[in-house]
Amino acid sequence: MTLKVILLGLLVSGIAAAQKVPKGTYNASQYAEAKAEAAKEGKNIAVIYTEIDSSCPKCRFGNETAFKEMRSDYVLVLEDKGSKSETGALPEDIKQKTYVTYKEKGNVIPIITVFAPQTDAVLSGACYKQISADERKWLKNVEQEIASKPAEETPEGRPDSNTEEANRSSATQCDPDGIREWTDTLGRTMKASFVHADDMTATFKLANGKQVDLPLTKLSKESRDAIEECR
C-alpha cells in the first residue's frame, strides 16, 4: 500500500509539472516589460495569479483555459503562488489593484485581472468561478466589460489645446467617420465616433471598430450637449 501511495504521488507530481506556460509570458517581476510590449502591440495586459504546479484538476483546467483563450490577444503576466522565487512579485501598486478582481469576481485561482497598459487602470477580471460557469462565454463577458469603459488618456498622449482644436476642426463631431474625444462625469476621455443616440443611451464606435453603448447620465454636460446637436 505504501508503494502504491508513493507511485501515485510521483504520478500526480509529474502531471502537474508538465503544465505548460505559453511562450512569451512575462513573470510578475517583469510587469514593466510587459507593459511596454502591450503598449507597442496595442493589447491589454492580463495578470494571471495561480499555481502552475498545482495538482488540483480545477486549478489546472482554469489555467489551461485562460492560457489558451488569452495568449493571442493579451500580453500575459504570471504570478505563481507556488514559485514566487522564480516569477517574482508584481509592483506593489499593481498588486493592490488586483484586489478589485478578488472582491468583485472571486478569489478562486486562477484569478485574472486585465489592465490598460497606458494607465494601469483595471478594465475587467475573472477567476475560476466564471471560467467554470461558462467556458465559452467567460472571455466574451470580460471583453464586453472592457469595451464598456471609456478609454483613459495617458499624460504622454494628452494633446495640447492647439492640437485639440485642430483635431476638432478637421472633422465634425457628428461625422460617423470622424473620431473625437468624449468625456464622462469623472473626467475620463474616450476617442470614438458618434453613431446614434436615444433618450437614454449613446452609441459610439471606437478606433478598433467596436461599438460601445454608454448611458447619457454617465457623460459630461459638454458631451451630452454635443450629442444633442448631433441628434
H or E element in which residue 64 lies: helix 57-70
Q: Was domain 16-147 assigned CATH 3.90.1150.10?
A: no
pTM exceeding 0.75 = no
Q: For residue 37, count CB atoms less than 10 angstroms from its CB and return exposed for 0-12, middle for 13-18, buried for 19 or more.
A: middle
According to CATH, where is 3.40.30.10 located in the chain? 16-147
Q: Which residues pair with 201 in a beta bridge?
A: 215
Residue 168 corresponds to which cell in the numbers above?
476638432
pLDDT at 98 > cutoff 90: yes
For 160-230, CATH number out of 2.40.128.720, 2.40.110.10, 2.30.30.700, 3.30.450.30 equals 2.30.30.700
DSSP 51: -
pLDDT digits (tens, 9 = 90+) for 199-214: 888 888 888 888 888 9
Read off the DSSP letter of residue 219.
B
Domain with CATH 2.30.30.700 in the chain: 160-230
Burial class (CB in 10 A: 0-12, 13-18, 19+), 95: middle
99-150 pLDDT, tens digit each: 999 999 999 999 999 999 989 999 999 999 999 998 889 999 999 999 887 6
